[in-house]
Amino acid sequence: MTPATRQKVLGLYRKIFQIAKKWQSASGGTEETLKEKEYIRNEAKTLFRKNKNVTDPKLIKQCIEECEARIEIGLHYNIPYPRPIHLPPLGLAHKQGRTLRHQEKLRKISKPIYLKSHDEVS
């Protein structure tokens, strides 16, 4: 990891904890705000620890982009949790064969960047 990349990652980590410190839930309830603050902190710790040994520059860049996307979406919608995606079910594909593999590949590609690590952690 280059020093510039390291600084960027540490800056994102600090930014997340600053956001968590100032976070106010959409409902304004104290209990819900505390839950959301705790979720933000725990999610950041889990994902950063999970990716601390990543050395591939391409993968590091992808993780940074995901982090930035999740921060922006969380601040925009005032929801710390990942936004759900709505993909059509695999109703038209046969249970096996090329059509099913093709549709599964398309679903994997169409998954938004901010959800790439969410399924692996939760």
Mean pLDDT score, 25-35? 92
Question: Is residue 22 in some structural domain?
Answer: yes
Residue 15 falls within a domain, yes or no?
yes
Query: Using DSSP, how many helices (H) and how many strands (E) does the chain show?
Result: 5, 0
Domain count for the chain, please give it: 1
61 belongs to a structural domain: yes
**Given 3-state DSSP classes, what are the helix, strand and coil percentages for the chain, each rounded to the nearest 5?**
65, 0, 35
pTM metric for this prediction = 0.72
Per the model's pLDDT, the better-predicted residue between 74 and 110 turns out to be 74
Distances (CA, A) of 71 to 24, 67, 78, 82, 97: 14, 6, 10, 10, 39
> Residues of the chain with pLDDT > 70: what percent?
74
Residue 106 has pLDDT above 80, yes or no: no
Is residue 122 in a domain?
no
Query: 33 or 100: which carries more pLDDT confidence?
Result: 33
Out of 11-20, 52-61, 112-121, which region has the weakest mean confidence (pLDDT)?
112-121
pLDDT score, position 122: 43
Structural domain containing residue 51? 3-85
Residue 37 lies in a domain: yes
- Supply the pLDDT for residue 23: 95
Give the dihedral sign, CA 107/60/53/74: negative
Q: What is the mean pLDDT of the chain?
A: 83
Domain-located, residue 91:
no
Specify if 117 maps to a domain.
no
Q: Is residue 11 part of a domain?
A: yes
